[in-house]
Amino acid sequence: MNTHNIELQNSHLDLEDEIVQKVLSLYDQHDEAPYISPDRDLEEWLKAVKIGSESLVPKRNMKRLEEGILPGHLILLWRISFSTFTNETVFPKYFEYTYGINAEQALQEVQEKHYAIELSAFASLTHLNAAHLRALLKDKNVKGYTQLTKGQLMKRVQGVYLEDELAKMFNIRGYKLTPIGLALLEKYSDIIDKHPQKKF
């Protein structure tokens, strides 16, 4: 079993080593131990598991796929595929508790593997509201934009800003799957189908 995914604060590890060992023992039959946030109260979580209000990460979710990634990475790709995922999106609890991954780290990994890319400022304008887009135009002394639709506002912004200049104006960035990432979702559609479906 790979225990390196258990990430705990040093003090937590020293003071509650017996609790840590209890947690690890629950995952003896898994291919590897799931990620556990250092913020998790292990003692309370163990009590919840005992009474059935919390569950272990299923074995199938800690079995690496042919590409070396875990099912949780696929669920992250699926979430990105809705085009509403950004660098400000809060990661749902299920990434850790159901899929055993550190979602923030997984986001970096899927980019390193070229399954997803972070979009440019131009391409991320869709994540700004109309008021923010109008403010960008106002900063450029553009006139006649008050009645424009959001799509029209975006085009006007793109017409008066350079990418490098616009990138300094706001921090939010969207993400997009690459053809490789899309192919993975299709290849492992059975894993996606097992995840509770929700529109984003």
Q: pLDDT tens for the chain, 200 residues: list them.
A: 444 455 443 444 444 578 888 888 999 999 999 999 989 999 999 999 999 999 999 999 999 999 999 999 999 999 999 999 999 999 999 999 999 999 999 999 999 999 999 999 999 999 999 999 999 999 999 999 989 999 999 999 999 999 999 999 999 999 999 999 999 999 999 999 999 876 65
Return the number of other C-beta atoms located less than 10 Å from residue 103's C-beta.
Answer: 21
CB contact at 8 A, 153 and 133: yes
Domain interval for residue 7: 1-56
Q: How far, in Å, CA of 172 to CA of 96, rounded?
A: 24
In a domain, 86, yes or no: no
Which residues 6+ apart lie within 8 Å of 168 measured at CB? none
In a domain, 62, yes or no: no
In the chain, the amino acid numbered 148 is: L
Tell me the C-alpha to C-alpha distance, in Å, between residue 49 and each of 3, 30, 42, 46, 163: 20, 17, 10, 5, 50
In a domain, 144, yes or no: yes
Last residue of a domain, one of 56, 86, 103: 56
- Structural domain total, the chain: 2
In a domain, 42, yes or no: yes
In a domain, 193, yes or no: no
Q: How far, in Å, CA of 123 to CA of 83, rounded?
A: 11
The model carries a pTM of 0.88
Distance spanning both ends of the chain, measured CA to CA: 36
